[in-house]
């Protein structure tokens, strides 16, 4: 398992992630991955990298955080032939759920997972999302995986904003493809 990406992949990904200034509010530089998703070479190469990394992890499920984690998680789950489980914002899942609140800059939000998300106790789970900043939503997702009787083998992020130290707030192993 190689955790370092090649310079070629790093360059390709960075070239295809757009900076949007003052979004969602003044002073923020938003890392927009929609440009990466729309480039077939960059997107496919990234997924090849993730598939190669996780094909020996003996995973049962991949859990994606609403909404961009769904994109990477569902495709990777298909490639690895494992189940995909969504963690959604409060009120979006149709059956019984566990909920977990987390802090935002101004207030709180809440994520949920179906109580029956995993069909076995201690299911081996990979958590995935597009970006980790402060780690609030990822920490809440880790907690939800535990509540649903899963074991989070690793949390994976396409981009980590290192200065915000969000990965330090997580309990388990963290892998970030790009650290900015």
Where helices occur in the chain by DSSP H, the ranges are 7-15, 34-37, 40-54, 68-80, 136-147
User: What are the C-alpha distances in Å from 122 to residues 58, 100, 110, 150?
Assistant: 12, 19, 24, 5
| Residue 149: DSSP 8-state | T
Whether residue 68 lies in the annotated active site: yes
The per-residue b/e assignment along 128-157, b for 16 or more CB within 10 angstroms, e otherwise, is: bbbbbbbbbbbbbbbbbbbebebebbbbbb
In the set 41, 51, 79, 105, the catalytic residue is 105
User: Is residue 124 flagged as an active site residue?
Assistant: no
Indicate which residue of 10, 51, 53, 68 is catalytic: 68
User: Which positions are catalytic?
Assistant: 68, 105
């Amino acid at each position: 398992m190689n955790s370092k990406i090649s310079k070629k992949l790093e360059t390709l990904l960075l070239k295809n992630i757009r900076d949007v200034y003052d979004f969602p509010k003044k002073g923020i530089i938003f890392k927009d991955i929609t440009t990466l998703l729309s480039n077939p070479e960059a997107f496919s190469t990234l997924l090849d990298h993730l598939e190669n990394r996780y094909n020996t992890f003996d995973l049962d499920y991949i859990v994606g955080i609403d909404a961009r984690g769904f994109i990477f998680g569902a495709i990777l789950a298909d490639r690895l032939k494992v189940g995909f489980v969504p963690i959604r914002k409060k009120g979006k899942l149709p059956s019984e759920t566990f909920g977990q609140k987390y802090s935002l800059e101004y207030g709180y939000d809440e994520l949920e997972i179906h109580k029956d998300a995993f069909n076995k106790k201690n299911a081996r789970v990979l958590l995935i999302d597009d970006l980790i900043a402060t780690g609030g939503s990822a920490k809440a997702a880790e907690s939800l995986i535990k509540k649903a009787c899963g074991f989070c083998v690793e949390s994976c992020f396409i981009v980590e904003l290192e200065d915000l130290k969000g990965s330090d707030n997580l309990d388990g192993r963290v892998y970030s493809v790009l650290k900015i």
